[in-house]
Amino acid sequence: MRFLLLLLSFVYGLIIVIRNLLFDWNIFKSKIYNVPIICVGNITSGGTGKTPHIEYLIRLLSDKKISILSRGYGRKTNGLFWVEFDSEPNNVGDESLQIKQKFPKTNVIVSENRRRGIEEILSKFPGTEVVLMDDGFQHRWVKAGLYILLNNYERPIYSDHILPLGRLRESVSSLKRSDIIITTKCPEISPKEQKVISSKLNLFTHQKSFFSSILYQDCRSVFSNKSIENLNNYNIVFITSIANAENLKKYLEEKGNIVHHFSFPDHHNYNNKDIQYILSQYKRSISDKNIILTTEKDKVKLTKFKEKFKGVELYFVPVKTEIHKSREFNNEILKYVTTNKREC
């Protein structure tokens, strides 16, 4: 079996190398647009934390007219959609809807054709000052001005393998196309360990290495203004449909909670049968501190079941990204945006 995976990885990797060479040799042509475009992506299949980093950039650039362009991963539709506050997750994707609901004044569009998406943005909102392209590192038909590549601390790029043997979408040599590499989901790590990680990334002189951590916020009710400041010693039915929920589960258990984790596939679209199952697990407990808890991404898909959850406490845990050496990182972003202002 391993031999077959090695063979498939070799074939897949060879195809990607040839494709990248065609772009590098300008046989396939990347299009450049007259607007600052920041691409936040990875070469790993899921689980690096793109959405929280996009949200970090939205906050950092809050004085700019920002548009978000995403593929809308996990949606059941094709083509171009503008994301509205009350859009259906199946139409636009859960992560795109999460961003729109969190930042309602920000323009969010989904399109698997990134060129068409950018052109639609600039046509409908000609005053756009920055486009944030979510997960577009492999989409080389568009040339971004600044590439931010995410590297998961728990499963670093340099220790992984090409699909399907590992989780890499392309070889480690593709790191050279990035301007900034952020090692994400870091615990407290020493400057010495940071230096070791950066050295393993084999950075070029033009590249910057940063590190980030996840910060869990006070959990909030999905259907009301309630919140729980001290989430300790609860009996939690924990519902997720994300690539990796182990960090959050560990965080909850370290606070003395009893966690019953029910994991659905990534980007799962919940149905009535799922909700009945979740509620049945919840009602099995006789604890007076019994709650159902989910993720911020899952929250946008569960809100349509409000009537089903009537009388039941359903909470979610907001997350934020903390960038180590944030002042230096922020300056890199602001320098790029301000020196590449759009000429209308």
3-class secondary structure per residue, the chain = CHHHHHHHHHHHHHHHHHHHHHHHCCCCCCEECCCCEEEEECCECCCCCHHHHHHHHHHHCCCCCEEEEECCCCCCCCCCEECCCCCCHHHHCHHHHHHHHHCCCCEEEECCCHHHHHHHHHHHCCCCCEEEEECCCCCCCEECCEEEEEEECCCCHHHCCECCCCCECCCHHHHHHCCEEEEECCCCCCHHHHHHHHHHCCCCCCCEEEEEEEEECCEEECCCCCEECCCCCCEEEEEECCCCCHHHHHHHHHCCCEEEEEECCCCCCCCHHHHHHHHHHHHCCCCCCEEEEEEHHHHHHHHHHCCCCCCCCEEEECEEEEECCHHHHHHHHHHHHHHCCCCC
Domain ranges of the chain: 2-215+322-339, 218-317
In single-letter form, the type of residue at position 78 comes to: N
Read off the tokens for 267: 């980007």
pTM of the model: 0.94
Shared fold status for 2-215+322-339 and 218-317: yes
Q: How do 107-110 and 81-82 pair as beta strands?
A: antiparallel
Per-residue pLDDT for the chain (344 aa), expressed as one digit of tens each?
A: 777 878 888 888 899 999 999 999 999 999 999 999 999 999 998 788 999 999 999 999 999 999 999 999 889 999 999 999 999 999 999 999 999 999 999 999 999 999 999 999 999 999 999 999 999 899 999 999 999 999 999 999 999 999 998 899 999 999 999 999 999 999 999 999 999 999 999 999 999 999 999 999 999 999 998 999 889 999 999 999 988 899 999 999 999 999 999 999 988 999 999 999 999 999 887 677 899 999 999 999 999 999 999 988 899 999 999 999 999 999 999 999 999 876 65
Q: Does domain 2-215+322-339 bear CATH number 3.40.50.720?
A: no
Q: What is the CATH number of domain 218-317?
A: 3.40.50
User: Which residue carries 């070889």 as its tokens?
Assistant: 171
